[in-house]
Structure 1
Amino acid sequence: MARLNVLLLVLVIACALGVVTSQHKARKLFVELQKEKDRAQQMDVEWGQLQLEQGTLAMPARVEKLANRLLQMQMPQPKQVRYIRLDSGMVTLQ
């Protein structure tokens, strides 16, 4: 009978250690999950900021101003404009 009690005690201790170990792993994984959620939210905020910045940098007025100032580009005169019309695969200039 004493051997059975010792065996049962060892099994109970092993099960208790297994429960403690699994709870510890679960807590570590939960903390990791929370960190990743926070990181994903931070990346969403950064993505929104980058989209806003891209929209600001690509504004037509800003692009035209930079083209004029840095590249000395100008809008062409109406007589310098050529229109291309596509007729069934052929290109014609007007």
Structure 2
Amino acid sequence: MNRLTFFLLAALLLCALSLVSAQHQARTLFVALERAQSEEKQLDIDWSRLQYQQSALGKSARIADAARTQLRMAPALAGRTQYLQGVVLPNTPPDAEKPAEKPAAGGAAK
């Protein structure tokens, strides 16, 4: 009986150590999961903030304001517009653009 009792005691200790190890691993994984979920929430908040900033920066009023204040740009006025002359593109007659028509094969020319 002594051997059986010793064997059962050893098995009981091994099972208890295995249970403690499994619970520790479960707690460690749960803490890692909580951290990952917290990071996911923070990244989602950052994403929303960046989308808002992108939409705010892309508005035409903000762009026009930045052009006036930072770049000192002004809208073009008709009186200040300069037109360049001297570049003349040749006009091609409409007939020159069409290829010459060939008579149909086997048909009589009139």
TM-score range, shorter chain: 0.7 to 0.9
Alignment of 1:77-88 (within 5 A): none
Structure 2 length-normalised TM: 0.64
Unaligned runs of 5+ in 1: 81-94
Structure whose residues are more often strand by fraction: 1
* Structure-1-length-normalised TM-score: 0.73
Identity of aligned pairs, percent? 38
The secondary structure found in structure 2 opposite 1:28 is helix
> After the TM superposition, which parts of structure 1 deviate over 4 Å for at least 4 consecutive aligned residues?
77-80
Asked if 1:73 is matched to 2:46, the reply is no
Structure with the higher helix share, 1 or 2: 1
1:63, distance to aligned residue in structure 2 (A) = 0.6
How many residue pairs get aligned? The number is 80
Counterpart of 2:54 in structure 1: which amino acid?
A: Q
Residue by residue, what CA displacement relative to the aligned partner does 1:53-86 show, whole Å, maximum 9, x if unpaired?
A: 1211221111111112211223345767xxxxxx
Q: How big is the alpha-carbon RMSD for the aligned residues of Structure 1 and Structure 2? A: 1.8
Q: Which amino acid aligns with 1:42?
A: Q
Instruction: State the structure with more CA Rg.
Output: 2
The reply on whether 1:38 has 2:38 as its aligned counterpart is: yes
Higher RCO, Cα 8 Å, sep 6+? 1
